[in-house]
Amino acid sequence: MKEGVNFICGDGNRRLCFPRLAAFIGDYEEAWRACGVVAGHCVKCVIPSFRNHSREHEFDADVEQDQHDARTAAEAIHLRSEYLKEPSGPKLLALNRKGYHLVNLFTDPIPFPKCSIYDVFAPDLLHQVSKNFHDQLFAKWTSAVVKTGPSPSALNAELDARFQHIPAYQGLRWFNRGISHIKRWTGSEYKGMMRVFMGIARGLCNDNLLSMIKTYVDIHRLSHFPSHSDNAELPGRQQGTLQYLDESVKAFFNDLLNPDGTLIKTNLIRDDFMTNKLHAMVHYPEWVREKGSLPQFSTDCTEALHRIFKALWRASNKGHESDKTVCLNEWRILGMLLYNEELRREAMKELNARGLELEGSEQGEHDDSDAERDFEWDEDVDTDKDEDVDTEKDEDEDEDDRGYDRLYEWEMLLDDEPEFEYLGDEGQTEAQMVARMARELREREGQKPKLEKGVRFKGTKLRGFPRELEKAADKLGLVDKNMVQQTLRTLCSIKGDRGLGPKPPGEVTLLGVKEVLVTEVYESIECVYAKMNSHILVKEINRCTDAFRLGGNSKWMEPRHDTVLVNYDRREDAVGTMDGRRVARLWCLFTVDLLGGPSLALVQWFNCRKEPERVTNMFLVNKTDKFEVIELSSIERGVHLIPDFGGMGSTLPWSELVTGDDYVPRGLDAYDKFVINNHLDPDAYNMIY
C-alpha cells in the first residue's frame, strides 16, 4: 500500500495512514534467516552480496533502486520450483545470484497479496542507523582523523574533554568521564552521543568528514520522524521530509565514496565499500511510502524483553539444561511482575484515597551513590521532577535481576491489613477483566493535570521574598547585570503596551510608584509547545538556579542557567529559521506587585549570525554583556548550545580540574562562542534547521 488511507487522527489533522495487521521486527541476523536469503544479501532488493567485492557495477546511490529490483514471493517461489523440477548448475547459479536459499518459507502458502515475508519485513532503525553510527561511522571517522595528524590517545583525550563540557539540558545524557572508557554501549548512549556529536566534531576534521557526519545525523533524525510529508509529485511545492531524507542519503554516500574523500585517500575503505546496514538506508524513503513512519518497526520496541533472558543466563551455570531453566524462570518472573504490578495499582488507589504519596511511583528511584557513572541530565533528585524522563538503567549497573526491587515498597505505607477493591471472581471472563482495566485507566487519566500550551513558572520558590527591587537584586547578586533599570524599563513598556523590542536608553522611573516589590523568585520554568506542527503538546523544564545537582549527584553542585529561544520580533512571512528569534540565557525568574503581577525573566542575550555555517548548517552565536528583562510569554522553548571548542588540543578536561568543593567553570560559563544544537530533538531540528 503506497497511497495510504485518509484518516482523521487524534489531534484533529488528516493524514495518510497505513493499516497493518502484522510486521516482522528483527535485526539482520534474524531477517535473512526468516526471508530465506543468503547471509550478506539485502532482504529488500536483489543487489549482489556485499561480501563479494567483485561487483560488476560500482555503487551509486542515485541509481541503486533502479538497478536492483525488489524481492517478491513470486520470484523466490519460481526460482526454487524451477530448480527442484530439474536440478542443474545454471538454475542453481540463478538462485544463488539472487541470494535465495533452497528453503520453503512459512509465508509461501498464504494466498493473500502483500502477505509474504518480503512485504511484512520492516527496517530496524536501532541496529541500522543508530548502532551503526558508532560501529562503522565513528570508528572510521576517528581513524581518518588520526591519519591526518593527532595520535589516538590525543584524539580520545580531546573527545572526552569536549563531552564533559557539554551544557546541561533536560533528557540529554551527560558523559561525565567522556566516551573512551565505555566498553559496552547501549542504545540510549548511541542516541545521546549522536545528539551532540555534530557540535563536538567541529574543528577536528576537514569538510569532507564533517559533511559525512552531518548527512548521517540528518538521516538518523529524519528516519525517526513520527510523520512525513511527500511532495515528489507536486512540482513547485516546498520539498517534503521524504525528499529531504532521500537527498540526505544520496549526499552521505557521495561523501563516503568520494574518490577524493579522506576515507578512500587514506585507504580506510575501498571505492566499492558497502555494508548491509548502510545499504538499508537507501530503502528508507520507499519503506515510509509503503508502511508509514519507521520508528514503530524498530527493535527498540522489543529489545527490553531480552533483559530477563540475559539476566537469567548470566545467573545460570551455562550447562546443558540452562536453556530450559531460563525459559521456566522467565515465565515465573513475568507472572510475578504482572501480579505485583496489579497489586501496586490497587495500592496506589488506596494511598491516593488516604492522601499519601508513594515515593518513586511515577519516575522511579535514582541512585546517587555512584559518582563515577554516566548520568542523564533529567536524573536530578529534585522536588519538581521532570516528565518524560528516561529512567532506563545501563546494563552494566548493579540492580536486582529478579525485578523485585520496587515491588513491596507500598506495603510500608499501608496498614497491616490493607483493604482493596473487589477485583471480581476468579472465573471472570477476559472481557470483564479488560472492562475493569479500561475503567481504571479512565480514572487515572482523569486525575492527571492537562497540559496547556505556554510558558509558566514551576518548581521551588526562593525564600526571603517579597522584597524591594533594589534589595532583591543585591540579594540575588544581579546588581552588575542592571536588573533594577531593566525591570523598570520593561514595566514601562508593559504599561505603554509597546511589547517586546528595543527600549529607550537611559534611566527609567515609574511615575506615581514609590517602590517595586519582587514578590516571588522561581528556579525553573515549564515550556509547553506543540510537537512537529501538530496538536500534541510537549513539556520541558528549563532551570535557573545556583545549586543544581550535577548528574543527580549531591557531591557535584554547580549553577545552572539554561538557554531559551525568544520570539523577539518574528513575522509570519519570516524566511530564515532564526529570523526574529533570539537566544537568551536565564538569570532570574520573578514576579512583581505591579500591573497585575507579570511573569518576568532577566536574560542575557547572545548574538546570532543570520546564516548558518555552510557545512554543518548550525548557527553560530556569541555571548554578549547585554541584559534585559522580558516577559515569560515571549519564550518559545528551550535551546541547547554547544561550545565552539576550536581546533585540536584546545579543550581541558573538566573532571581533572575538579579538585575539591571549588566550582570549576564548565560549558556555558567557560566559553563565549557557541553553536545552536539543532540535532537535539525532532522539534528543534524541525524548527531551527
Supply the pLDDT for residue 606.
95
Judge whether 374 and 189 are in contact, CB under 8 Å. yes
Report the alpha-carbon distance of residue 461 to residue 136 in Å, rounded.
48
Average pLDDT value over all residues in the chain: 77
- Percentages helix, strand, coil for the chain, rounded to the nearest 5? 35, 15, 45
What count of Cα atoms within 13 Å lies in the side-chain half-sphere of residue 82?
15
Q: Which residue has the higher pLDDT, 589 or 450?
A: 589
Report the alpha-carbon distance of residue 293 to residue 337 in Å, rounded.
32
Q: Report the pLDDT averaged over residues 11-18.
A: 72
Supply the pLDDT for residue 78.
87
Smallest CA-to-CA distance from 193 within 236, 137, 145, 113 is with 137
- In this structure, the chain runs to a length of 689
Q: pLDDT band for 502, please (50, 70, 90 cuts).
A: low
Supply the pLDDT for residue 587.
93
Cell of 355: 492522601
Judged against a pLDDT cut of 60, whether residue 180 lies above it is answered with yes
Strand partners, 561: 544
**Is residue 461 within a helix (H) or strand (E), and if so which, with residue range?**
strand 454-461
**Is residue 5 within a helix (H) or strand (E), and if so which, with residue range?**
strand 5-8
Task: Summarize pLDDT for 147-161 with one digit per residue, the tens.
Answer: 777 788 888 888 888
Judged against a pLDDT cut of 60, whether residue 56 lies above it is answered with no
Q: Report the pLDDT averaged over residues 95-116.
A: 83
Judged against a pLDDT cut of 60, whether residue 386 lies above it is answered with no
Report the alpha-carbon distance of residue 639 to residue 642 in Å, rounded.
10
Residue 226 is classified by DSSP as S
Judge whether 578 and 541 are in contact, CB under 8 Å. no
The Cβ of residue 114 has, within 10 Å, a number of other Cβ atoms equal to 13
Judged against a pLDDT cut of 80, whether residue 661 lies above it is answered with no
CA 471 to chain centre: 42
Supply the pLDDT for residue 25.
86
Q: Any idea of the CA torsion for 502, 506, 510, 512, to the nearest 10 degrees?
A: -140
Supply the pLDDT for residue 188.
81
Judged against a pLDDT cut of 60, whether residue 678 lies above it is answered with yes
Q: Report the pLDDT averaged over residues 480-504.
A: 74
Which residues have a Cβ under 8 Å from the Cβ of 253 and sit 6 or more positions away?
59, 61, 278
Judged against a pLDDT cut of 80, whether residue 607 lies above it is answered with yes
Supply the pLDDT for residue 219.
93
Judged against a pLDDT cut of 70, whether residue 422 lies above it is answered with no
Supply the pLDDT for residue 485.
86
Judged against a pLDDT cut of 50, whether residue 682 lies above it is answered with yes
Task: Summarize pLDDT for 339-360 with one digit per residue, the tens.
Answer: 777 777 777 777 666 655 444 3
Give the Å distances, CA to CA, from 468 to 16, 89, 175, 510, 631: 58, 94, 42, 14, 19
Supply the pLDDT for residue 354.
61
Q: What percent of the chain has pLDDT over 70?
A: 76
Q: pLDDT band for 252, please (50, 70, 90 cuts).
A: very high
Report the alpha-carbon distance of residue 582 to residue 562 in Å, rounded.
14
Judged against a pLDDT cut of 80, whether residue 385 lies above it is answered with no
Q: pLDDT band for 237, please (50, 70, 90 cuts).
A: low
Judged against a pLDDT cut of 50, whether residue 494 lies above it is answered with yes
Judged against a pLDDT cut of 90, whether residue 603 lies above it is answered with yes
Give the Å distances, CA to CA, from 431 to 338, 341, 427, 435, 456: 18, 20, 12, 6, 43
Report the alpha-carbon distance of residue 123 to residue 300 in Å, rounded.
12
Report the alpha-carbon distance of residue 132 to residue 127 in Å, rounded.
6
What DSSP line would sit under 250-307, residue for residue? HHHHHHHT-TTSHHHHTTSS-TT---HHHHHGGGHHHHHHHHS-SGGGSTHHHHTTHH
Judged against a pLDDT cut of 90, whether residue 622 lies above it is answered with yes
Q: Any idea of the CA torsion for 138, 143, 147, 149, to the nearest 10 degrees?
A: 60
Q: Report the pLDDT averaged over residues 189-194.
A: 87
Judge whether 198 and 679 are in contact, CB under 8 Å. yes
Give the Å distances, CA to CA, from 145 to 151, 263, 369, 554: 9, 10, 37, 38
Q: Which residue has the higher pLDDT, 689 or 168?
A: 168
User: Could you tell me the end-to-end alpha-carbon distance of the chain, in angstroms, rounded to an integer?
Assistant: 31
Judged against a pLDDT cut of 50, whether residue 384 lies above it is answered with no
Report the alpha-carbon distance of residue 288 to residue 480 in Å, rounded.
55
The Cβ of residue 318 has, within 10 Å, a number of other Cβ atoms equal to 8
| This prediction's pTM | 0.76
Which residues have a Cβ under 8 Å from the Cβ of 605 and sit 6 or more positions away?
582, 583, 584, 624, 626, 627, 628
Angle at 486 between CA 527 and CA 630, to 5 degrees: 20
Residues of the chain with CATH 2.30.30: 454-639
CATH of domain 454-639: 2.30.30
3-state secondary structure 53-78: CCCCCCCCCCCHHHHCCECCHHHHHH
The mean-pLDDT minimum among 528-532, 568-572, 600-604, 676-680 falls in: 568-572
Q: Which residue has the higher pLDDT, 357 or 227?
A: 227
Judged against a pLDDT cut of 90, whether residue 110 lies above it is answered with no
Supply the pLDDT for residue 380.
38
What DSSP line would sit under 508-552, residue for residue? ---TT-S--EEEEEEEEEEEEEESTTSS-EEEEEEEEEEEEEGGG
